Each structure stands twice: as structure tokens, then as C-alpha cells.
Structure 1
Amino acid sequence: MITTTFARWLPAVFGSGAVLLVWGLAGCAAPPAAPSKGELSFEQAVAQVTDGLVVQTQKQPAFIARMGAKRGVVLDPMIDAGSAQQTVATQLLQERVGERLGSKYDAIEILPFQSANLGKARYLLTGTMTRLSVSEARSPLRIDLALTELATGIVAAQSSAVARDDGLDHTPLPYDRDTPVPTKDLVIESYVRTTATPPGQRADPYYLERLAVAPVIKEATTHYNAERYEEALTRYSAAGATSNGEQLRVLNGIYLSSAKLGRTAEAELAFGKIVAYGIANRQLGVKFLFNPGGTAFWSDAKISSPYAMWLREIARASADARVCMDIVGHTSRTGSVAFNDTLSMQRARYIRQRLVGESTVLGERTTPSGKGFRENIIGSGTDDAVDALDRRVEFRIVGCG
């Protein structure tokens, strides 16, 4: 069964070990889990975690000595730590935190996340939302925030709170919904580590070294989400031309924007770079959508038409790189264990069959298996855009021989 929300989502363009994500559909959502003691409402958790940051900074001698001066804060967009996506819920978190900091604390000024403001602001604010258990629907969410002093790279304050998931909307924003490749690369992982870094310690250096290009990527993604694809392509291309611009979210953005503009040749070239990046970094993810309960790709050509090109590029690059891969199928948390184990194996075998059809040498370099829903990332069981990462086939690059 396809929900109304998912039905609206389907017409969009669909767009870690090495990972090829292949997407399917299953059945009905599980009932929400009952809240446990000690959890806060979302609004209460936002207030607690935000105030916790400010209390820590106010105890610092340097802050107290200059209480009359505004402390500029730039906010790098908040994400879901498990999926690396920006969602409606993470966007709401970001808005609520920014509003509370800007309205309640006179000493703090929220500045737009722009390149020029990186040199003006005192602090960098990062934030994540992490589901505490993916084995139950609507399990609690941990909110983590960190304030990093831009001049030193030292985390000045870090705060956490646990919120109930009372009806929060975890639908990905358009870029993350459309992207062909999940963006949880080393840059995103270092962002997540920074947000959990204790006060007094240095923020993750991999993230800090690439911070200068982050505002450009943010601008590009804002354009994409607003369907301004020409502007998005210009900004993604500008980000990609910088020394630290070779990131999955940039390569994805160039592909997506080119595809939306109907520039087929440019889109194919961009996708080839995505695959090459993934193989080089031993972390490759590509999303396909299956018909419900089967191994055939989604019937709507608006969605599945790029798949032949994707498979061709993956097969070509894998064969040229002479890599070996474990192909591991996954499903969402609906239906029986036996059914999902079988389905995940069938989809892994189907992808392997298609790749071997493109390059016969991959027959000796690939091995399929199925995990059912035992390795879910989201775990919501909603079978829509929210838990699409749970319906995947991973390509894990391994040693040959």
C-alpha cells in the first residue's frame, strides 16, 4: 500500500564500506511507541538543549568580560545523524533553536550562514537529531548541539536533550529526497562528531578544514529546494571548483541540477564522477526504487528512466577499478521475517544480474546476500520517503581473492 504522502513524492527525480542503495516498498506502518519516563516534549527539549549551551558560555571568563558585546553565531544546517538528511523535523529544530537564541539572549546575534560571516562571527553552531532506537516506531530522539569558537576551533559548549517523537515530520527536504546517492561521507560524519564533542576539545579537524565551502553548498541546496535549478547548478559548480569542494553533496547537486535542467550529457558525466568518488573512497551509494514486493524497478518511467545509465556507469567504473563487492539486500520493517529475508536476497541478486549483464567480469567479483530488516537505519516502518534508506541494497567493496 502506498500512502498519500508517498504518492506525492514519487514524481520527483530520484536522484557506508562501499554502499549501493537500492530502494523498494513494503506494507503498513507500525503503531507509535509509548513515551518512556524522562523524555521531554520536542519544544521542552529544544528549550533545555539551547539554554544549556548559553549557560556554559556564560560561565567562561572571556564571555563575562565582554557581556556588553554581541556574540555573532552562524548556524551550519542541522541534520539527522543516522541518515545525514535534512528533513522537515531537522529544519524545525534549526528554526526553534535559532529563534530561542536570538530572542531570549541579548548577547547573541544569529548571522546568516554565509562565507563573509565566517570571519565576523564568534561561534559556529552545529546540531543533529538522532533516533535512539531504530527497532521501534517513533522511538525518542536525542538532540545534540555544539558551539565551536571559530578563532580557535575549540568547542565552547555542548548540550544534549531527549525528545519524544510526537508527530514530528521526518520527510526529507527536496534535495535529500531526490539525491541518487546518500550524502553520509567523511565530511558529514565529521560534522556529526563535532556536534557531540565535549567542551574544551577541538572540533573535528576534517570538518573544520572544509568549513569555508559549506556556506556555498548551503546556498546551492537552498536554491535547489526552491526549484531554482540554474542558480543551484551555478553554486554547486562554484563549490566543486574549490580545493575542498569534492564532496558527495556537491557531486550530487551538480547531477541533480543538470538532470532537472534536461542537460542529459552533463548529468551522465556528473553521475560518473559520483561513482568514481565512491569507489575511490570505498563508500558508494546509489538509490533505485522497486515495485512493491518484487524485483522489478518502479514502473513510472519518470522515476526509473535514469536507472539504465546508473547501472552502466556503476558496472563500467567497478570493472575498470577491478574491485570486488558484497551485494547486501535490505528491507523495511513490515511483513514477516522470512518474507523480508527472501525479498532482500532477491533484490540483491537482481542488481547483480543487471551489473553482470553490463560487464561479465563482475560475475566473479560479486556475491549477493540478504539482511531483511535487521540493519534498518530509520526503522519507522512507514514505507514512504521517510524510511527509504531501509529499503536498500549495499555494495560493500571488499578485497579480491
Structure 2
Amino acid sequence: MTGIIDQSPANGTGVHHSGDPLLVYAVSASRGHDWEGHYECGKRMTSILDALASHGLTPAKHSHEIVELQGINPASETDLELVHTTEHITKMRQKALEEAPCVVADFEEPADNVTYMTKTSYEDALKGIGIAVTLVDQVAAAGKDGKGTKGFGLIRPPGHHATTDAPIGFCLFNNVAIAARHAQERCGLKKVLIVDFDVHHGNGTQDIFYEDPSVLFIDVHQLDVWPGSGQVDETGKGAGQKGTINVPLPIASGDEVAGNCLKRIIAPAARRFAPDIILISAGFDAHWRDPLEQLNFQSATYHKLVSGIRDLADELCGGRLVVLLEGGYSMQGLSEGVCETFQALLKRPPLHPHDADVPSEPLQAAQLALDDVVSLHGLAA
């Protein structure tokens, strides 16, 4: 795997001071991984990059604050084996070579939104995972000296549904889980906090770490939607008991509810766990514009969530924070959410402080839901 890449500004004119925000990001070129008419498509990445450019969130505009990493090596199968079985890895490689384009998931999925592979999907997945582990290397090294560097992997296909031995929910391999194991086994970061705010529960990530006390998994998602997991009483097993915190939100929960999740659950749980690094599974499909489910996060909600988690990283683990892209299928909601995440990581104000036409939130029902989580996990002040 690649070593630490030079973080000096690309044009050689900017100066980054330790302690100032520095956003290190990378983009996986996954244009070959496309299935006609599918929500999870290459247009997602194009929309993100166009929006970043339109807001000047690029190294060309801010070379002293934003660095795009280039020339990152793809992950190796040894990297995949940190999480996945040899049988699963072999199966995915062979399907790409011999059967693609094809549907690969056995798990029940909607007919028009299957988990697919093209001829390049296996290679595209390795490129994305290579970015994920390289960003962990970057923030692990930077965290020794200051709190400035944060990482964002703009990668696809997404990963948080994939289990150790199965592709599920548009996901072939579990990107964030591999990044977590890489942080532990190759960077010496023993305790990992994973926060997942995709609208769908990260069933694969939960399964992988369900009995592992060294990884705290907090998942904020919509109640009772696909894939059906993520109930409040799914809290871990054995040594990992209470190491999984599920926060299922009622339909139409939005910005205020998300802020309450941060304040009442994510922050106290993180402080009690005291992680060495924080990883975010950043899905943007809880946005009110997204076509798949029915949460009503605003674009600035992602600024609020990421700002709060950024502050926790600075407080608890030397600023070590890596964000990895998961879902998000409204091109506007996705691109605005990513731009707000960039803004938050750079400690800048939100670009979209208020979205029009956002329905009112079910505050009473959401409060009861959060009360259950707080009580079950002993998070009350």
C-alpha cells in the first residue's frame, strides 16, 4: 500500500500551518461501474465534482487548505482479507472476469435496484478501498503532530451493507470496515469509532464488529426500511455488548432531530469510548430530496453533523477523522451534502443554511426514540 503522500500544496505557493484545517481528499475513477438506469451510478460523482468546483472547494482555489491526493495504489487482496473471506474475494474477482455485467447479491432487493458488477467493478472497488486506507494513513500520521488534517474519500461503489462473505445493497466490499481494521492493524490505532448516518442501516458494518469491543458503531438511520436491521435492541454480543448503538428515526425526522442525535447520543458515547480515530460512513440519502426513503435532513444538516463529529475528533483523538462516501441518490441533495461536509471539515459556515419546503418534524416521536437509546446505553448526563 502507498506510504504517506506529500501534503504540500499542489502549486507550491500555499503554506499550511499545523493546527489549521487541511482537507485531504481523493476521488476514485469508477466510470466503468455503471448499470443503466440504476440509482448508484457514475453521475453521482460527476454531480459532486461539479458542485465542488462551482463553490470553489478545490485545490486550484484553496491550495493551502485543500489537497487532492493523486496516484494512490489500489488495495490488494491482502487488504480485503482484513475483513472479507477468501471465498468472497475470489467470487467477486471471478464474476467480474467471467460473468459481468451481472447481478451478484443473493439478498432480496428491489428489482430495479439490484447489486451489480460490470467488467471494471472489481478494480473500481479496489481503487476506492485503496483511497480509504491511504486516507487513514494520512490522518494517522498527521494526528501525531496536530489536529489539522481530515480526510474525505469520494469513492464508489459504496460499502456499508457488504458483509464478510456477501455483496448486498449496491456494496461489494465493506470500505469503512477495511479502513477500521487497517487503522488498528497497520497504524496502531486500537479503538475505532464508526458513525454511519446513511438513511439505510449499515448492516454489514454492524455484523463485522458485533462482537468486537475495540470498535464502537453508531448508526443513525430511518426506522423500518430496507434492509430491515438496526433496531434499538441490536446492541452487540459477547465482548462487544453495548458496542453497537442503533438510532432508528421515525419518518420525516430532519435537522433538529439530527442535532439531538449528535448532542444526546453521538457525543456522549464517543467521549465514553475515547477512540483513537473516527470514521464516518457518509450517506446523503437522508436528505429530503432523496428518492429512496423518507427522512428530511437538510443540506446544512450534514454540516451540523460533520462539524460536531469533527470537534469530537479534535477533542478525543488528535483530530483523526476520515469520511467515506456511501449512499445519496438525489444529485442535488448529494452534491450539496458533500459540499457542506467539505465546509464543515474546513471549519467554514454552511453554504445552504435553510432549505425551502421541508416538512415539519415528528419531534415528540423522535424524542421518545432517542430516550430509548439513551436509557438502553446509559448515556443520560
Q: TM-score, normalised by structure 1?
A: 0.27
Q: Which has the higher helix share?
A: 1
TM-score when normalising by structure 2: 0.28
Larger CA Rg, structure 1 vs 2: 1
